[in-house]
């Protein structure tokens, strides 16, 4: 029996890896953020603000100040929002299971994915997929 990660890896060969669009980088930090998120999503790793700060050569408080100035949000909130955006794209554009999407979007577990997604959208991933796919059907 294959693990969700193995299943997700084989599915990645069959489907395009959609990426959420990030704001146009206005500083080198945002370029680093985009690169970091792409790396996390490609390796199915959970994005972490502390790792991002290290990768940008900043302390966590310095990264927080930069995010507040550039984007008006805290780094962890921004990272989560990008994970949710990627999950939305994958729900609508692929036939991956919710477990596969949880790994692909870097949530680490299906339970974390469901909890974060529901808080962000006020619906489960399955409800989101069903609603958007229904809305896309020709009348």
Question: Average of pLDDT values for 3-18?
Answer: 43
Structural domains for the chain: 4-15+23-136 (1.10.10.60)
- Report the pLDDT averaged over residues 52-79: 91
Structural tokens at position 91: 């729900």
CB 106 within 8 A of CB 80: no
Q: Model confidence at 11, in pLDDT bands (50, 70, 90)?
A: very low
Asked if the model's pLDDT at residue 12 lies above 90, the reply is no
pLDDT band at 136 (very low <50, low <70, confident <90, very high): low
- Residues 78-110: pLDDT tens digits? 999 999 999 999 999 999 999 999 999 999 899
Question: What ranges in the chain are assigned the alpha helix state H?
Answer: 4-14, 28-43, 49-55, 60-70, 75-93, 98-104, 110-121, 125-136
Would you state the pLDDT for residue 10? Answer: 44
Q: What are phi and psi of 57, to 5 degrees?
A: 70, 35
The model's pLDDT over 27-52, given as tens digits with 9 standing for 90+, comes to 677 888 889 999 999 998 999 999 99
């Amino acid at each position: 029996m294959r693990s969700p990660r193995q299943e997700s890896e084989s599915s990645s060969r069959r489907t395009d890896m959609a990426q959420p669009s990030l704001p146009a980088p206005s500083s080198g930090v945002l370029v680093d953020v985009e690169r970091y998120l792409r790396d996390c999503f490609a390796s199915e790793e959970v994005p972490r603000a502390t790792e991002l700060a290290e990768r940008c050569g900043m302390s966590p408080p310095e990264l927080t100040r930069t995010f507040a100035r550039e984007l008006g949000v805290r780094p962890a909130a921004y990272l989560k929002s990008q994970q949710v955006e990627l999950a939305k794209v994958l729900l609508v554009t692929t036939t991956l299971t919710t477990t596969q999407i949880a790994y692909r979007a870097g949530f680490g577990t299906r339970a974390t994915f469901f909890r974060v997604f529901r808080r962000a959208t006020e619906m489960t991933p399955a409800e989101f997929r069903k609603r958007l796919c229904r809305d896309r059907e020709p009348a």
